[in-house]
Amino acid sequence: MRRSKPCLLLVFLTKLSLGLAHPQQSAAAPERPSALTGSVAGVVYYGETQLPARFAEINVVPIPAKEDVEPPGKQPIPSGAPKQPDRRVQRIYGTSGMDGSFRLDAPEGDYLVVARKPGYITPGAAAAMDFSLSEEQLESLIASLPQVHVGAGQTASLNLTLHRGAVITGRAQFADGSPVIGAMVGCEPIDSFLRLEGALGRENRGKVVSPRQVAVQSLAAAQEVQRGLTTDDQGRYRFFGLSPGKYIVTAMMAIDHNPGRVVMNDGSNTRSSGREQAYPEMIPVYAPAAFRRRDAKVFEVRGAEQIADADLTIDPQGLHTLKGRVLAADDHHAPRTMVYFKENGAKEASRFVEIGDDGTFEVHYLPPGSYTLSILSSDFPDPANPAEQRTEYKIVQLTAVVADQDVLLDDVLVVLLKPGEHNRFDLLF
């Protein structure tokens, strides 16, 4: 009897889904490794149950050689000599099988080996962006990670254990108890901004990243930790696979200042007049109910525990709006402008808004305090006139104080940069 088309379609989709479920699973390994390479083989287990970890991703990263970490004096490159591409192995990866076993071919050398699975911790990942680590600290960290030596034509055996990460979960709601549905929520280590600030600091500009740091980053690239997600229909969120440390939970409100859009049958989006603002106003809210990062609650996890009460409430009571207008000093037109807000004492700008067609801007839900506004303006050339050049205006900084009511600023007039003048963009942050 001939099989019906629906049945054939079901069989095809079933095979397709099974093929896509584990796209990184390596092909069947040869019985013996090639004479030109060796192999890494072993079994992955769950630490809490000692059961095999099926379809876990295996990551094999070369350990930097001493001569790479401490290179000899720089050799001049002959003028006109083509740069040779770097063909060294950066990372080898594959997938464990139904019994948790794996075998990966690898060139001769020394390697770090880790396994990855959602909800579990990748060893060394927490230090990936810590550029303050010395070479001695990096060397000690690498020495503490699972590693093997692969010899040509030989198989190096190594079993791996997955350790479950911590969980932080809660519910986002408005002050009246209704859920915050579909909101962006993040969970970040409290020192992440300090590490990023250090990485971008002047002392690190142009600094060559240590090969050991690169190796640790290659391991961290495999870490699948939910740093950002959206709340469900009940306002709930759940972060898992967290390494030991201190975290804050943030929800982001996005306010679109554009007027309503009209979509045509051909898919185009029309506007009656003016230009469309490219960015919504992004307003961070920190658990449990704070609009300042410094007032956020710190959630500390030391192992695989679950914190189930990391609730977040959005309550705008006692907050205010700051309004202003930015115009060009020469003819009072409204150039393209971004306004960055930084509360005095803060190390980074926490907000930014774009001005409208008439030059006006509004910043909502500001706690009382003193703020520094950095105003960056420019005029873009008309696409119909390619000979026209982009013009830049001097960055303007001013202070605004928000007390117990909304604030309306005087008009801010921006002036063009003179020939040879340049803006200091470090003023923005």
The model's pLDDT over 296-305, given as tens digits with 9 standing for 90+, comes to: 999 999 989 9
Structure confidence by residue, pLDDT tens digits, 340-363: 999 987 777 789 999 998 999 999
Q: Which CATH number is correct for 318-429, 3.30.460.80, 1.10.101.10, 3.40.1180.10, 2.60.40.10?
A: 2.60.40.10
**pLDDT at residue number 199:** 58
Using the predicted structure, report yes or no on whether residue 37 has a pLDDT greater than 90: no
Using the predicted structure, report yes or no on whether residue 222 has a pLDDT greater than 70: no
Please list the residues that pair with 179 across neighbouring strands: 173
Name, in order, each residue with C-beta under 8 angstroms of 341's C-beta and a sequence gap of 6 or more.
Answer: 349, 350, 351, 352, 353, 363, 366, 371, 372, 373
Peptide bond into 288 cis (omega under 30): yes
Measured between alpha carbons, how far apart are the two ends of the chain, in Å? 73
Structure confidence by residue, pLDDT tens digits, 260-292: 777 788 877 666 556 677 788 999 999 999 999
Lookup: tokens for 175: 């002050």
Residues of each domain in the chain carrying CATH 2.60.40.1120: 22-66+89-162
Confidence of residue 81 (pLDDT cuts 50, 70, 90): low
Integer Cα distance of 382 and 397 in angstroms:
28
Most confident of 36-40, 86-90, 186-190, 231-235: 231-235
Higher model confidence: residue 310 or residue 216?
310
Name, in order, each residue with C-beta under 8 angstroms of 313's C-beta and a sequence gap of 6 or more.
Answer: 172, 173, 174, 175, 288, 289
Element (H, E) at 246: strand 245-255
**pLDDT at residue number 36:** 67
Confidence of residue 34 (pLDDT cuts 50, 70, 90): low
**pLDDT at residue number 338:** 94
Confidence of residue 53 (pLDDT cuts 50, 70, 90): very high
Higher model confidence: residue 386 or residue 197?
386
| Lowest mean pLDDT, pick from 21-35, 115-129, 162-176, 305-319 | 21-35
**pLDDT at residue number 207:** 63
**pLDDT at residue number 202:** 58
Cα angle for residues 341, 248, 346 (degrees, 5° grid): 30
Using the predicted structure, report yes or no on whether residue 15 has a pLDDT greater than 70: no
Q: How far is CA 203 from the centre of its chain?
A: 23
Q: What is the mean pLDDT of the chain?
A: 83
The conformation of residue 375, written as its DSSP 8-state character, comes to E
Using the predicted structure, report yes or no on whether residue 386 has a pLDDT greater than 80: no
**pLDDT at residue number 90:** 83
Using the predicted structure, report yes or no on whether residue 29 has a pLDDT greater than 50: no
Element (H, E) at 342: strand 336-343
**pLDDT at residue number 79:** 53
Confidence of residue 423 (pLDDT cuts 50, 70, 90): confident
Residues of each domain in the chain carrying CATH 2.60.40.10: 318-429
* Nearest CA among 428, 420, 418 for reference residue 329: 418
Peptide bond into 76 cis (omega under 30): no
Please tell me the class of the 22-66+89-162 domain. Answer: mainly beta
Using the predicted structure, report yes or no on whether residue 116 has a pLDDT greater than 60: yes
